[in-house]
Amino acid sequence: MIAFLAGGLPQDKAERVDGHVESCQSCRLLVAAVAKSSRDATPVAAATLAVGSNDATLAAVDELAMSPTLAGAATPAAGDGVKRGEQVGRYVIQGVLGKGGMGVVYAAFDPQLDRKVAVKLLRPELAAGGGEAAAARLLREGRAIAKLAHPNVVTVFDVGTHDGSVFVAMELVEGRSLDHWIAEKRRPWREVLGVFRQAGAGLIAAHDAGMIHRDFKPANVLMGKDGRARVTDFGLARFGGERTSKPRLAAGTEEVARLTRTGALLGTPAYMSPEQFEGGEVDAKSDQFSFAVALYEALYGSRPFAGLTVGELFANITEKNVRPAPEDSTVPAWLRETVLRGLEPAPANRYPTLASLLVALEHDPALKRRRVAFAAGGVSVLGLGVVATVLVLGRTAAPSCRVSPTALAGAWDAPRRADVERAFGASKAPYAKDQLAVVLKELDTYAADWTAMKKDACEAAQVRHEQTEQQQGLRTVCLEQRTIELRAITDLLAHADEDVIRNAHKAVAALTPLAGCADLRALSSRVPPPADTATRIRVDALRSRLAKARAIGTAGKYTEAQAAATQLAGEAAQLGYRPLHAEALLLAGALAERAGDAKTAEAQLTQAVQAAEAGRDDLAAAQAWVTLVRVRGISLGKADDALVAAGHASAMLERFGGDAEEQLKLDAYRGLVLSEQGKYAEATALAEKVLAARRREVPPAPLDLASALNDVGNRYEEMGKYAEAAKAQAEALALREKQLGPNHPEVAATLHNLGNTQFELGDLPAAEASFRRSLAIREKALGPTHPEVALVVSNLGVLMRTLGKYDEAIAFYQRALAIKIERLGPEHPSIATVMHNIGATYMTQKKFPEAIEFLDKGLALAIKVRGPEHSEVAAFYGTLSQCYRGQAKFDEAFAAARKALAINEKALGPEHPEVATDHSHIGELYLSQSKYVEALAAFQRALAIHEKTLGPDHPDLAIALSNIGNAQIALGKHADAAKTYERALALDEKGLGKDHPDLTYDITGLGDVYEKLGRHDDAVAILERGLTLRDGDRIAYQYALTKLYLGRALWNATKPDKARAKKLVAEAAELFAKGDYKIAIKWAKDWQSKHR
C-alpha cells in the first residue's frame, strides 16, 4: 500500500490496487491514514483527494505529487535509474526532487547555459516495460508548455530522450508549491485572490493558445520566492473541444483512451469537473471548475465537495452539495457566490470564460465607493498578464508614490539579469562579451527611466496635482504595456542563441520609447480599451504575445515572427479593438518586408493605416505610412507611390503633434527614394539633415549615429564624393567598434561599405585591406561558410578582377560558389549569379570558350529555377552576346542579344530600363559591324525609353546619349554629336557633381567631336579638365583616351604645345599597350607616325 501511495507500483498492479481500494472501506481508511502521515512527514507526497470531514487522503496514482519544477533540498539520486553526476541529455543530474507513478523529477545543471534546471524523466520501470502511454504523455507535456510564453506559466527549455525514456527540461523555481503555501496557515482572502489571479492569468494564456490544462490544482502551481505564481504540469493538456474518457476503459481503444485508462484518471478526482468524470467534451470551462475548487480550498481550508469514494465525490459534485463555510470564515458573501458559480455542474451555468470569473473576483462592493474609473467604462492596467485594476484612493490620505522594487519583477530584475549574463557567458561568439555590456547598460537605463516615469505619473496626479487621476491611469496603462514588451525582450535574451546574441543590441534598441507614456494628448486621443473587462484581459494576452513576436523579429527571425504577428492580427480583428489590430498589422507588414515579401508587406501596412485611423491612433498610422515609404520606394521600386505615402506620413505626424524618431526615419527613407530617382543632391541633403539631428541627440545614440553616417556615406558615394564618403564610413566604423567591439558582424558590414568606397577612390590596397578584415570578422563570428562570407568573397573577386588578377578573382568566385551550394543548395537562384560573374571574368580575359562554358551552365540553372522568361535569364543572354561579339561571331551575338530583348520586353514590359539596355547592346553590335545608321536607331530607341521612364533630366540618360554621340560621330554628324555630348555632360554634372570621375566618358567624347569640328581650343579646355578626374586604374582606358585626344588638340590649338602633345600621345600608347587595347594602340601609333 505504501508503494501504491508513493507511485512505486507498475501500472497494472496500481490499477488492481486502485480498484480494490475503491470497493473496500477498510483499505480506504488505511490509504487515508498512510497518505496523511506521508504528507505530514515529507514535502514529496502524492497528490491528495479530500474525503470526509477530517480531510483524509486518497492518492491519485497517475500524478507526481510535488510540482515538477520546484527547487528544494534535492536528495541524491539512487535507485531511480539515473545517478548523481550522470547526464540526461546535456543536463548533469544533482538529485531527486520528487517521484510519482509516471516519472521522477531531478534537480540538474545545464553546463551549456550555466544554470540549474528541473528534469522530469519517465520512470525506468515504465520505460523498460514499454510505457508508450506514459512516454507520449510526458512528450505532450513538454510540447504543450513549450507553446506558451507567459510569466505565470513555467518555462520549458528542452524535450528529448535518454536511454529510451522521455525527459523534459524546464525552469527550476525557487520556492514551493501552492498546496504547501495553502497548508502553512489560514491566509487573508485578499492575499489568496492575489495569488489566484496570477494562476488564472497563466491558465488564460493556455486557453488563448487553444490548450486545456485538465488537471489544475494547487500542487500544479508554483509559488516562487519572487512572489510570482506559475502554472505547471501540463501532462494532461489537450487542445480545446476534445472529449475525455471515462475511467476503466478497456484496452485496445484509440490513443486518448490508452493514455487515460484505469489508474490514470483524466485529472485528479478532487478537482475534476463533472464532464471529466463522464468522459464528455472538455474545454476551458472544465479548467474553470478545477480553478474554482482550488480557490474554494484556499479560501476555506477544505475542498468544496466531500466523498470517501470517487462515486460519492461525483455524486456531490453533480448535485452541487457544497460544504458550508466555516463559522469563523471572513470570506465575504459576494466572493462565495462568485466561486460557487464556477462550481456549477453544468458548464453552461458557469462563467463564459475564466477571464470572466477573474473579472467577477474584482467586484468587491466594499471598494466601489473608493474606486475611480479612468475612462467611461473603467480602465484596467493589464500588465504582467494579471488583471490589476487601478484604484485611486481619496486624496485625503497622504499619497505614496514610491515605486516598488519588484515593479519590474520578471521583466528586468536581478534574477533576469543573471539569466541574461549566463546565456551570453555560455556563447562562443567572439562579440558576446561586448554585446552583453551594451545590452546590460541599455536595459538598466530603460528600467531606471521606467521607474522614474512611473513615479512621476503618480506625483503629477497625487502630489503636484498637475494631472488628473484619469491621466495617471492612462500613463500607467502605457507603462504596463512597455513592461510587457520589456519582459518579452529580456526573456528572449535570457534564452539567447547565436542569432539573438548577434542582434541583441537591435532587440534592445527596438524597445518602444517611454516618452510616449508622458504624451497625454496622444494617450487620450486613442480609442480606450474595451469596456468589457474580459475582453481587456484578452487584449492584454494578445499584446504579450505580440511583444514576443516583435522580440523574435528583432533577432532576425523574420519569417517566424511575421507568421506569429499575422495570426495575432487576425485574432485582434476578431476582438474588435482597432489600436491593437493596427499594432499587429504594422509589425506583420514590417516583418514581411524583412522576410523578402514586399507585396504582403504593402498590403498589411495599408490595412494597418486603416485600423490605426479607425482606432484614432495617429502615431501607429504615421508609423505605417513611414514604413510604406520604404516598402514602396525601395523594395517595390514604386518611387512615385512612395512619395505619396511620404506626404501622408508627414500629415499624420503633424496631426499627432510630431515624433522626432519617426520624422528621422521618414527623412531617411525619402532620401533613399530620391536616390533611386537619381535626385542625388536632394537625397544627400536629407541624409545630412538626419545626420545633424543624430549628432544633437541627448543622450547620444551611437549606433543610430553610425547608421546615419553610413547613409550619408552612401549618398556621398553616389555623388562621386568618395573622400567624404570614406570619412563618414570611417567614423561609423569607429562608433560601431566602440559600441559592439571589433569582432561584431556589423563592424564587418561597415568595413565592407568602406572597402567599396575605397575601391571607387582607386585606393585598391586600402579596399583590399578593408575587404579582408571584413572577411576575417565574418569567418570568425559566423563561420567560414556563412552566406555573408560569400558576399565579401564575391567583392574580393571583383577587386581582383579590377586589378587584373583574374586567376585570384576566379578563385574567390569559386569559393563564393561553393559556400552558396553548401548553405543554399545547388539549385539556389544566387548560384546562377555567381556563375555569371565567373563567366564575365573569363570574358574580360578574352577566354571566351571558358566564359561561354560557365555562362551556359548558369543559363541552364537560371532557366530551371527562374523559368525561361525571367529577366535574369536575359542577363545571361546579354553577356553571351558580348562573348560572341569578342569572337566576331556576330550572328550568334545578335541572336543572343535579341533573345535578351524579347525576354525583357515580355517580362518587364517594352518600356523598362532593362529593355533600353538591351537596345543599347544591339546598337553596339551594329557599331562593331560599322552599321552606323542601325546603331543610331537602336541607341535612340534606348534613349526614348529612358526619357519616358526616368524623365528627361535623369542622370542615367547620359549613357544612352554618349552612345548616340558615338554613332553620330561615325556618321559624320559632328554638330549633332556635340549637342548630344553636351547634354550628357550636363546631366552627369547635375546628378554626380562636377568632379565625379565618370564624367570622363562624356568629356572624351566631347573633346573628340570638338577636335573634329575644328574647335581645338574648346577641345583642349574640356580635355584638360578630364585629366584632373583620374580615378586610379578603375577607368584607365578613358584616362588614356583623354591623353590621346588632348595630345591631338594641343598640336592643333591656337597656341600649340607640340612637345607636350607628343608626350601625352606616347603615354596614352603605353597605357593602351598595358591593357592590350589593340585598336586604340593603332590610333596612337598612326598619329605618332604622322606627327614627328
Q: Which residues are catalytic?
A: 215
From 735, 702, 741, 701, select the one nearest 433 (Cα to Cα).
Answer: 741
Give the residue carrying C-alpha cell 583623354. Answer: 1042
From 1, 9, 2, 22, select the one nearest 247 (Cα to Cα).
Answer: 22
Yes or no: say if 278 and 256 are a contact pair by the CB < 8 Å rule: no
CA distances in angstroms from 298 to 4, 184, 291, 820, listed in the order given: 27, 11, 11, 61
* Chain length of the chain: 1092
DSSP 435-481: HHHHHHHHHHHHHHHHHHHHHHHHHHHHTS--S-HHHHHHHHHHHHH
What 3 state SS string does 315-377 have? HHHHCCCCCCCCCCCCCCHHHHHHHHHHCCCCHHHCCCCHHHHHHHHCCCHHHCCCCCCCCCC
Determine the distance from the C-alpha atom of residue 914 to the mean position of all C-alpha atoms in its chain, rounded to a whole number.
34
Q: Residue 115: enclosing H or E segment and its boundaries?
A: strand 115-122
DSSP 137-193: HHHHHHHHHHT---TTBPPEEEEEEETTEEEEEEE-EEEEEHHHHHHH----HHHHH
What is d(CA 684, CA 668) in angstroms, rounded to the nearest whole number?
10
Q: Residue 825: enclosing H or E segment and its boundaries?
A: none
> Count of alpha carbons within 13 Å of 983, Cβ hemisphere only?
20
Residues 623, 629, 634, 640: what is their CA dihedral angle, to the nearest 10 degrees?
170
Question: Residue 513: what are its φ and ψ, rounded to 5°?
Answer: -55, 145
Yes or no: say if 202 and 153 are a contact pair by the CB < 8 Å rule: yes
Per DSSP bridges, beta strands 156-162 and 165-171 are: antiparallel
What is d(CA 373, CA 389) in angstroms, rounded to the nearest whole number?
9
Q: Which three cell numbers stand for residue 86?
A: 550522470
What is the Rg, in whole angstroms, of the alpha carbon atoms belonging to the chain? 38
Q: Residue 273: enclosing H or E segment and its boundaries?
A: none
From 1035, 1039, 1046, 1037, select the one nearest 1087 (Cα to Cα).
Answer: 1046
Peptide bond into 699 cis (omega under 30): yes
Yes or no: say if 739 and 505 are a contact pair by the CB < 8 Å rule: yes
Yes or no: say if 182 and 212 are a contact pair by the CB < 8 Å rule: no
259: left (phi over 0), alpha (psi -120 to 50) or beta: alpha
What is d(CA 151, CA 202) in angstroms, rounded to the nearest whole number?
7
* 1083-1088, Cβ contacts within 8 angstroms, sequence gap of 24 or more: 1083/1044, 1084/1044, 1087/1044, 1087/1047, 1087/1048, 1088/1062
CA distances in angstroms from 277 to 244, 247, 253, 258, 272, listed in the order given: 9, 7, 18, 16, 7
> Count of alpha carbons within 13 Å of 526, Cβ hemisphere only?
29
Q: Which three cell numbers stand for residue 206?
A: 493556455
* CB-CB neighbours of 53 under 10 Å: 9
